């Protein structure tokens, strides 16, 4: 019976949703361990929140980070697009419901 429980546990841990969760956690932990999020928000609030300063701040911050952090950020954005389009393809989310949802 222990083998049955072991096989059941391994199948649950190696399922597609679990692997997506593991990838997301690894990317998030990598970013959190390499970037001082508090300092980023402090610098962001000092620059202002209009579109011009936000785009300049984002570009400048990205270009002046280490290669490891840049790689993690690009992989995180690609992973978020992968998740979004996977949900859209499966029919769990649509463009209209995502942007114009009323509670």
Three-state SS annotation for 35-74? CCHHHHHHHHHHHCCCHHHHHHHHHHHHHCCCHHHHHHHH
Residue 92 DSSP symbol: S
Instruction: Give yes or no for residue 93 having a pLDDT over 80.
Output: no
Name the more confident of 6 and 93.
6
Rounded distance, CA 26 to CA 57, Å? Answer: 26
Instruction: Give yes or no for residue 103 having a pLDDT over 60.
Output: no
Give the H or E element holding residue 101. none
Contact 79, 24 (CB under 8 A): yes
Name the more confident of 83 and 77.
77
Instruction: Give yes or no for residue 70 having a pLDDT over 90.
Output: yes
Confidence band (pLDDT; 50, 70, 90) for 74?
very high
- For the chain, the domains span 1-34+67-103, 36-64
Mean pLDDT over residues 62-81, rounded? 92
């Amino acid at each position: 019976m222990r083998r049955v429980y072991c096989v059941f546990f391994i199948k649950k841990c190696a399922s597609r949703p679990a692997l997506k969760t593991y990838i997301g956690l690894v990317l998030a932990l990598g970013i959190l361990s390499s970037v001082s999020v508090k300092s980023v928000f402090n610098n962001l609030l000092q620059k202002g929140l209009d579109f011009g300063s936000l785009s300049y701040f984002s570009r400048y911050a990205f270009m002046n980070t280490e290669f490891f952090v840049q790689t993690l950020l690009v992989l995180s954005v690609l992973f978020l697009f992968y998740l979004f389009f996977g949900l859209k393809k499966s029919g769990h989310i649509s463009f209209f419901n995502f942007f114009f949802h009323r509670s």
